[in-house]
Chain A
Amino acid sequence: MDSKPRFLLRSSSIVTSAALICASAAEAAAPAGLSYNRDIRPILSDNCFACHGPDASSRKGELRLDLREQALAPAESGARAIVPGKISESELVNRILTPDEDELMPPLKSHKKLTPAQKELVKQWVTEGAVYEKHWAFELPKRAPLPQVKTPAWVKNPIDAFVLAGLEAAGLQPNAEADRRTLARRLWLDLTGLPPKPEEVDAFEKDSSPDAYQKLVKRLMDSEQWGEHRGRYWLDAARYGDTHGIHHDAYREMWPYRDWVVRAFNRNMRFDAFTLEQIAGDLLPQPTREQLIATGFHRCNITTAEGGTIAEENLAMYANDRVTTTSWVWLGLTANCAACHDHKFDPITQKDFYSMAAYFRNTTQSHSDGNVKDTKPILYLPESKDEKRFAELPKLIAEANASLAKRRRDAAKDAEAWASVLSPEKFGIAEKARLDKVDAAKPFSVAARVKVAKDGVLAGQLVVQGKKFGLQAGKLIAFSKREVITPGKEQHLMATFDGKNGLILYLDGKEVEADRNGKVTATTPLEGATEVKLYARTLSKADALSLNDEARLRKTVALAPEKRSPKEKAELTDFYFRSVDEPSSALALHLEALAAEDNAIRARSTVTHIQEEKKDEAMANVLMRGAYDKVGEKVTPGGFGFLHAMPKDAPKNRLGLAQWLVSPENALTTRVTVNRFWQELFGTGFVRTSEDFGAQGERPVNQALLDWLAVDFRESGWDVKRLFTLMLTSSTYRQASKVTPDKLAADPQNRLLSRGPRFRMDAEMVRDYALSASGTLVTKLGGAGTRPYQPSNIWEVVGLHGARYTQDKGESLYRRTIYNFWKRQAPSPNMEIFNAPTREVCVVRRERTNTPLQALVTLNDPQFVEAARRLAESVLKKTQQPGEIIAEIAARVLLRPLSAREQSIVQTSAATLEQDFKAHPERATAYLNIGETKPDPALPAAQVATYSMIASQLLNLDEALNK
């Protein structure tokens, strides 16, 4: 009994035959007979190309079958693999038919085997002349004339003509249009990712205007939720996450990129511009802030800071990810296979791979993310109150620098004169009014040169404790954050206070990070201190350098001016302008204040990760077998050689790459993009393998329609909303989703679209649905990642060194799921269980499983339990009558009235559950207290608990979980 199903599954699965039926229907214009692309290439690709295909290094017997010219050429032995029209002379045919196991192809040890039907096809193909075709996806799409159909009345737009032609060829009829309520729910979910409110469905049901449907599509497309919903799909492709992904998996601040994606969809950005800005926004002339944020796309890849990793290896990994992602998202090609060797099925060479990598290798990004949230290159996005100042500061700083330079030029003679009369005794920064005791209310500075032997306190409370130093004056306190004191070594310490802001500490003339707390424990005077100075004013960074240099420069000063070297003279001049010349000192302080202000704004700004090009010319090396340390040939940037040429004048940087991706010569980008958008609505693309349009990918169901849409998309100006409007207003989309046994047999996966789309919603939609139906959803747009309910020990068990999940409070618990903080090594489990990706790598189609763990989430997760309770509470405030309560819950969850049978099932559940809760009030209390919001004390607990269970019951229905 084994062989029978196996044979069926292998040779002619229902899916394949359905695809064939459809393809032949769609290509009705094509002559009957064999098609290389449809019938032969898949056989050769699956069974032969691994050894007789594009990859030269693994080619056997010098035979290449993917190119006709080479397949027809005689081998050294004189034999020819293919002699068109002559089967018996064709070695290919002989070898697949031979009974001799040593001669047989594919060889036994490959575990590959041609079926009798496949052998027949190959024979027929050779007999008919062995005509090759270019792979369908590499030919430019063309707009085919609309096919003739038997029921033109069903055709609302060109989509329907192509779909109906396919259905008619398969002997199927489309389903009738779904009812208004179903359509309303479907539209809301597809356009906004959220369910409608009952009254919105009522209004749509009652709207009898002829364009009611179109109006609704337009209205929902203009809502801000449109961008959130469309953006969410894109974020999978962009592998957006809020952590670095590898090893520590620390926080990475880049949510402005996520919000940019939402905005881009909301303003219906042309998809070609959307591409250009994300790949190369930084290389556009005078890029705007938005265009820079957009380049975050290729900063979303996972990075590491693991100790012991090798810089070159990491950089190779990052570039590899960027090529892979670009290739999946825009080209629908598995270029990643060409990282180690030429692609075995598609004509992508290893050199092609590294040519594209060259674009991405030319980055200023470091090999390590440093486990910090802001790994350069980054863009600061100041708060709105800071924006104006942040924008003008660079100019002010430049001006101050210019003034300083000017002063140095103007007063050069003064410096010379000063230097010529210096004496070692008088040299130094004058203390002027010397302090006896520091006053924490007024500016002061303290400095000393020390050679530390043990802890101690100096004049002015400058203190050394262990390997740290600091100062305390009243409430004013600061200690060096790190252990910077080296006992026995001469070091210069300084602390300064401007009278308002905190203390600043300097070591050897350079500022050190300070902790603004600590405790002075040392009491004995510090030994080994010299050059102790106290100033009743604040000293600048320049002064700190000067003070540090003072002792050394005193030796220069002791020399007669003519004996000083040019370097020594320059040092003295620097000293003069840093700390002696009053106008310069004042300017230096001013400059420092500006710089400090600039730093402070940066510190409180949001940052986002962007792309930045090195000045060098882009290049890369081929890495043999993909290994970072096996460096091969040097390559310059370029697209894949077998595809279209680079546009003329395309720059040799990422901008050139982006132009190549959206070039009208590109046969793939429009198809791949349209296919992915189609998949969002219908569950599966024309090509199921959205990431692979190559030889091993699936051939499109209804290529004529895919091509028509691809051409239309480009010709309409890459207009995303227009494309969606076309799809959403088609009769194809508006069909009821009822499945009849006939349709199940003839179109099991609905690839022919003999019915409306019906499939389980994505993870985020499942959660948002419950929140929205219960009225608890907070619809605020954008911002930092939120941390809703999550079981304990999700981050903690994977995290290094204290990764702790701190759940949010208040409205952040109820935001849309797109805003969930995405920790890549430990994504929210209630999302992962519903197949949300970890976002470590690009995902262009999600899996869609149906599992018991999913049931446990929607039944038991506090997020869902609380939502059900809030829903029940809100209904119970409206009505207390059991029948009405149930009807109202159904209206909110299912958006339709229940049938009598359904009503009675729910009522039975409610009645028995209410008995339980009444008999055990403590159960009701416990159940109602789940979640951050408190139960409404005005409502009877047993009743709320009962109808919470009922709300949960309906939220768990297949109908509620499905689109």
Chain B
Amino acid sequence: MNCNSHLFSHLPYETRLALTRRQLFGRGGSVAGTAALSSLLGSSLTQASSSQGKPVLPHWAAKAKNVIYLHMVGGPSQIDLYDHKPKMVEMYDKDLPDSVRNGQRLTGMTSGQKRFPVAPSKWAFKQAGQCGLWMNQELLPYTAKSVDDMAFIRSMHTEAINHEPAITAIQTGSQVAGRACLGSWMSYGLGSVNQNLPAFVVLVAEPSQGGAIQAISGKLWSSGFLPGEHAGVSFRSAGDPILYINNPEGVTADMRRKQLDGIQQLNQLALESIGDPETHVRIQQYEMAFRMQASVPDLTDISKEPEHTFKLYGETARKPGSFANSALMARRLTERGVRFVQIYLNGWDQHGNVGGKLPTQCFDIDQATHGLIEDLKQRGLFEDTLIIWGGEFGRTIYSQGGLTKDNYGRDHHPRCFTMWMAGGGVKGGTIHGETDDFSYNITRDPVHIRDLHATILHLLGIDHDRFTFRAQGLDFKLTGVDPAKIVKAVLA
């Protein structure tokens, strides 16, 4: 192994290991770091050791090895998609009973409203699949074909009522910024299984309708208190797919290699004369950078995808930055051993004009989501890949602003919302949890976001209670200090 370089070879094995671990976890490492770690240490050691006494991972055999998380930024309306409330038709324009709202907190955007008139969904629901899920097939006809692969949780809830804290909460387990997000935890815990790409990649898709969006920033995929190499690496749809990945104009890969050869030889001399182990890591990281440069063009070049790929995902998959394109990229990344792909799609924050906006949003995701599932199946990746879909909260049954039969607005609603999971370890066709007639309060099997996190970790082979990281003198867990329970009903 490389770490047996002559400089360290006289040291006892444990010392070498501790040194290398320190470089990689404590001080060194890389953004795509566990990949570099693999190249230095081999992946078995990656999983077995920790500078902090991290337990051996996985705790048990993982059901899923990869995750593709489709985050619908803004909070999609559960009432108009998956949480069927037929009785609401009679309640049209009647006030939401006080007994339902029960004095709960509203956002500043509707707390001043004089009335809270019920807005039933304008769309007719039909049952889909063997599981018979009542859903909006008018807007999600393709998704309807996949419901038997999905486990729906209609009883998700969170405390946060505004976007920024709510997205932070569902990504990191805490409303306060600074904790580590799901992807970083996974990168930290399970390391990388490829040599050229980061373990955790983020794609920010653009909604086709534009309009009001919520801020999506790097802090959502920062590693928080975890070592920096576990931060998500954002792949961009325009310009360099990874920042600075392309050589300057006029410099070919071959010329870069020549320049790099000199750098490496000179660094090797420095290593020999100064003896700083960090120099050794730098030599490795420059090689890794070169390999990344070589592999990314192939990754992002979808011109060789067969025609049927675009039939599957839809023609918009050709358009960089679209959700369909991101979904296709997610498959290509997963195929290449990227463990965690996070896609953000903005545009679900529909305070008004649900009638106008929701169809476009659904069109953006519908075919590509179904396509992704089918594609993963065809390639034998579905069983190993956990797909998660959902927003940061739900929306209210009462209309924000004007209400007609065909159009209305909906405010943020943290007390219940719908998410689904599919793939590795998930029991397809599950419908879990129920809400009241107003899709306002949960009446059966509430699932807090920390329960969701515990369940996701469980599928990845990790006991959420034993998976901790010491920062500021505390052992932090993704699921926080309150007890979290695994949602057994959705497990295969």
Q: Across the interface, do B473 and A345 meet the contact criterion of CB distance under 8 Å?
A: yes
Instruction: Assess whether A78 is interfacial by the CB under 8 Å rule.
Output: no
Instruction: Assess whether B113 is interfacial by the CB under 8 Å rule.
Output: no
Q: Across the interface, do B250 and A853 meet the contact criterion of CB distance under 8 Å?
A: no
Interface residues of A in 686-702 (CB under 8 A from B): 689, 691-692, 694-697
Binary interface profile of B, 21-56, with partner A (CB < 8 Å = 1, else 0)?
111000111111100100000000000111101011
Interface residues of B in 215-249 (CB under 8 A from A): 215-219, 222, 227-229, 233, 236, 238-240, 242-249
How far apart are the CA atoms of A745 and B468 in the complex, in Å? 29
Instruction: Assess whether A901 is interfacial by the CB under 8 Å rule.
Output: yes
Q: Knowing A840-B177, A856-B242, A909-B259 touch, does A2 contact B48 (C-beta < 8 A)?
A: yes
Q: Across the interface, do B218 and A838 meet the contact criterion of CB distance under 8 Å?
A: yes
Q: Knowing A246-B164, A953-B263 touch, does A334 contact B56 (C-beta < 8 A)?
A: no
How far apart are the CA atoms of A861 and B242 in the complex, in Å? 12
Interface centre among A45, A859, A922 (most CB of B within 10 A): A859
Which of B94-102, B142-150, B272-280, B418-426 lies at the binding interface?
B272-280
Q: Which residues of B contact A800 (CB under 8 A)?
A: 212-215
Q: Which residues of A contact B273 (CB under 8 A)?
A: 738
Q: Knowing A308-B109, A852-B285, A853-B244 touch, does A741 contact B11 (C-beta < 8 A)?
A: yes
Q: Across the interface, do A850 and B30 meet the contact criterion of CB distance under 8 Å?
A: yes
How far apart are the CA atoms of A832 and B261 in the complex, in Å? 27
Q: Which residues of A contact B105 (CB under 8 A)?
A: 310, 629
Q: Across the interface, do B244 and A791 meet the contact criterion of CB distance under 8 Å?
A: yes
Q: Knowing A14-B18, A850-B29 touch, does A929 contact B249 (C-beta < 8 A)?
A: yes
Q: Which residues of B contact A906 (CB under 8 A)?
A: 262, 266
Q: Which residues of B contact A337 (CB under 8 A)?
A: 472-474
Q: Which residues of B contact A929 (CB under 8 A)?
A: 249
Q: Which residues of B contact A749 (CB under 8 A)?
A: 22
Q: Knowing A14-B15, A759-B278, A924-B250 touch, does A851 contact B31 (C-beta < 8 A)?
A: yes
Binary interface profile of A, 795-838, with partner B (CB < 8 Å = 1, else 0)?
00111110000000000000000000000011101101101001
Q: Which residues of A contact B109 (CB under 8 A)?
A: 307-308
Binary interface profile of A, 112-156, with partner B (CB < 8 Å = 1, else 0)?
000000000000000000000000000000000000000000000
Q: Which residues of A contact B15 (CB under 8 A)?
A: 14, 745, 748
Q: Knowing A308-B162, A851-B33 touch, does A841 contact B177 (C-beta < 8 A)?
A: yes
Q: Across the interface, do A958 and B17 meet the contact criterion of CB distance under 8 Å?
A: no
Q: Which residues of A contact B248 (CB under 8 A)?
A: 860, 862, 865, 927, 930
- Residue in chain B with minimal CB distance to A795: B217
How far apart are the CA atoms of A345 and B472 in the complex, in Å? 11
Of the candidates A308, A745, A852, the one whose C-beta lies within 8 Å of that of B11 is A745
Interface residues of A in 873-929 (CB under 8 A from B): 899, 901-902, 905-906, 908-909, 912-913, 916, 922-929
Binary interface profile of A, 216-259, with partner B (CB < 8 Å = 1, else 0)?
00000000000000000000000000000011110000000000
- Residue in chain B with minimal CB distance to A743: B275
Q: Across the interface, do A957 and B263 meet the contact criterion of CB distance under 8 Å?
A: yes
Q: Knowing A737-B276, A860-B246 touch, does A13 contact B36 (C-beta < 8 A)?
A: no
Q: Across the interface, do A949 and B53 meet the contact criterion of CB distance under 8 Å?
A: no
Instruction: Assess whether B465 is interfacial by the CB under 8 Å rule.
Output: yes
Which of A3-11, A205-213, A508-516 lies at the binding interface?
A3-11
Instruction: Assess whether A363 is interfacial by the CB under 8 Å rule.
Output: no
Q: Across the interface, do B215 and A741 meet the contact criterion of CB distance under 8 Å?
A: no
- Residue in chain A with minimal CB distance to B236: A793
Q: Across the interface, do B466 and A111 meet the contact criterion of CB distance under 8 Å?
A: yes
Q: Across the interface, do B217 and A826 meet the contact criterion of CB distance under 8 Å?
A: yes
How far apart are the CA atoms of A791 and B245 in the complex, in Å? 11
How far apart are the CA atoms of A1 and B45 in the complex, in Å? 10
Interface residues of B in 247-273 (CB under 8 A from A): 247-252, 254-256, 258-259, 261-263, 265-267, 269-271, 273
Interface size class of B (residues with CB under 8 A): 35 or more
Q: Across the interface, do A247 and B27 meet the contact criterion of CB distance under 8 Å?
A: no
Q: Across the interface, do B244 and A861 meet the contact criterion of CB distance under 8 Å?
A: yes
Of the candidates B14, B51, B242, B275, the one whose C-beta lies within 8 Å of that of A744 is B275
Q: Across the interface, do B18 and A930 meet the contact criterion of CB distance under 8 Å?
A: no
- Residue in chain A with minimal CB distance to B258: A912
Instruction: Assess whether B332 is interfacial by the CB under 8 Å rule.
Output: no
**Chain A nearest CB: distance from B60 CB in Å?**
15
Binary interface profile of A, 700-739, with partner B (CB < 8 Å = 1, else 0)?
0000000000000000000000000000000000000111
Interface centre among B22, B107, B219 (most CB of A within 10 A): B219
Of the candidates B27, B240, B265, B267, the one whose C-beta lies within 8 Å of that of A848 is B27
Interface size class of A (residues with CB under 8 A): 35 or more
Q: Across the interface, do A798 and B17 meet the contact criterion of CB distance under 8 Å?
A: no
How far apart are the CA atoms of A431 and B19 in the complex, in Å? 90
How far apart are the CA atoms of A109 and B7 in the complex, in Å? 43
Q: Which residues of B contact A45 (CB under 8 A)?
A: 473
Which of B288-296, B334-342, B384-392 lies at the binding interface?
B288-296
Q: Knowing A5-B17, A859-B289, A905-B262 touch, does A852 contact B32 (C-beta < 8 A)?
A: yes
Q: Across the interface, do A825 and B215 meet the contact criterion of CB distance under 8 Å?
A: yes
How far apart are the CA atoms of A923 and B27 in the complex, in Å? 38
**Chain B nearest CB: distance from A805 CB in Å?**
12
Instruction: Assess whether A501 is interfacial by the CB under 8 Å rule.
Output: no
Q: Which residues of A contact B14 (CB under 8 A)?
A: 4-5, 8
Instruction: Assess whether B281 is interfacial by the CB under 8 Å rule.
Output: yes
- Residue in chain B with minimal CB distance to A796: B238
- Residue in chain A with minimal CB distance to B47: A2
Q: Knowing A14-B18, A856-B245, A856-B293 touch, does A741 contact B164 (C-beta < 8 A)?
A: no
Q: Across the interface, do B27 and A850 meet the contact criterion of CB distance under 8 Å?
A: yes
Binary interface profile of A, 765-801, with partner B (CB < 8 Å = 1, else 0)?
0000000000000000000000000011100011111
Instruction: Assess whether B161 is interfacial by the CB under 8 Å rule.
Output: yes
Q: Which residues of B contact A6 (CB under 8 A)?
A: 48-49, 53, 56
Q: Across the interface, do B30 and A853 meet the contact criterion of CB distance under 8 Å?
A: yes
Q: Across the interface, do B262 and A908 meet the contact criterion of CB distance under 8 Å?
A: yes
Q: Which residues of B contact A2 (CB under 8 A)?
A: 48-49, 56
Instruction: Assess whether A77 is interfacial by the CB under 8 Å rule.
Output: no
Instruction: Assess whether A959 is interfacial by the CB under 8 Å rule.
Output: yes
Instruction: Assess whether A855 is interfacial by the CB under 8 Å rule.
Output: yes
Instruction: Assess whether A102 is interfacial by the CB under 8 Å rule.
Output: no
Q: Knowing A851-B30, A949-B251, A959-B270 touch, does A247 contact B164 (C-beta < 8 A)?
A: yes
Of the candidates B11, B23, B51, B292, the one whose C-beta lies within 8 Å of that of A850 is B23
Instruction: Assess whether A286 is interfacial by the CB under 8 Å rule.
Output: no
Q: Across the interface, do B249 and A958 meet the contact criterion of CB distance under 8 Å?
A: no
Listed A/B pairs (10) with beta-carbon separation below 8 Å: A1-B48, A738-B273, A744-B8, A745-B15, A758-B276, A791-B240, A847-B228, A905-B266, A913-B259, A952-B259
10 nearest CB pairs, A to B: A696-B473, A927-B250, A308-B107, A926-B250, A851-B30, A909-B262, A852-B289, A739-B275, A825-B217, A855-B289
Chain A positions within 8 Å of B, measured between CB atoms, are 1-2, 4-6, 8-10, 13-15, 45, 109, 111, 246-249, 304, 306-310, 334, 336-337, 344-345, 629, 689, 691-692, 694-697, 737-741, 744-745, 748-749, 758-760, 791-793, 797-801, 825-827, 829-830, 832-833, 835, 838, 840-841, 847-857, 859-862, 865, 899, 901-902, 905-906, 908-909, 912-913, 916, 922-930, 945, 949, 952-954, 956-959, 961-962
